[in-house]
Amino acid sequence: MEPAAARRVLLCSLCLALWCLRCAHGLPSSGNHDWKKLIMVHHWPATVCKEIENNCKNPPDYWTIHGLWADKAEKCNRSWHFNFNEIKDLLPDMKIYWPDVIHSSGNCTYFWKHEWEKHGTCAAQLDALGSQRKYFGKGLDLYKALALNSMLQKLGIVPSGNYYQISDIKDALASIYGVVPKVQCLPPKQGEEVQTLGQIELCFTKDLQLRNCTEPGEPEARRPEGQPAQPATGLEVCEDAPAFYPPPEEIKH
């Protein structure tokens, strides 16, 4: 083979190898996907149903997982598609703790697919989250370890017709977890008096240690850092004011 032809073959082989490496699982497909913290997002099903004006059937009466999100990153590897078979062994816990609240009568595959392809492919930069099985398994582990439902009950914060001060909720959670959470609400609609408690975020370092959800002096975003699975929501960081924590039966359709 002529030297020039040999060089062309070598160059083509090198380019092909780099392209394959770029598409390998766990590597970003494009853009800058650096992130600093993980966000364990819990949402209150009754508020989810109210927010989207969806006739949810028998929504859970406990906080469920919305997602495990890396901040400032999304869809980091568009070639790493969701494969349900990788999480089949997690299915019993996934249905209980990570359900599709909006489409509660159907299967949750679309919801989990969305969470993996938008958020999981970014979180997978960590070895501890470096596969679909690890990502969803660790999400379940963190949810159980945080035990938000039982913690709120111990603090006396339970669904009620009475209102709670958002500052009291945040202070109570900080006293339990040792870090400042982010609390999000559905703003009052026309004819309503107060905002409705909807989402609670607790944040982690890349070492999976709890950390404040905002840095000192950093303003809280008025919108969630990630986007929900479907459809777009109206949740915002709660005003420092009273909030309604609705029992499921209080949401009328």
Q: Which of 115, 201, 225, 236 is catalytic?
A: 115
Q: Which of 119, 201, 225, 236 is catalytic?
A: 119
Q: Can you tell me the distance from the alpha carbon of 4 to that of 39, in angstroms, rounded to the nearest whole number? A: 53
Q: Which of 33, 66, 74, 225 is catalytic?
A: 66
Q: What angle do CA 156, 203, 26 make, to 5 degrees?
A: 140
115 is catalytic: yes
253 is catalytic: no
Catalytic residues: 66, 115, 119
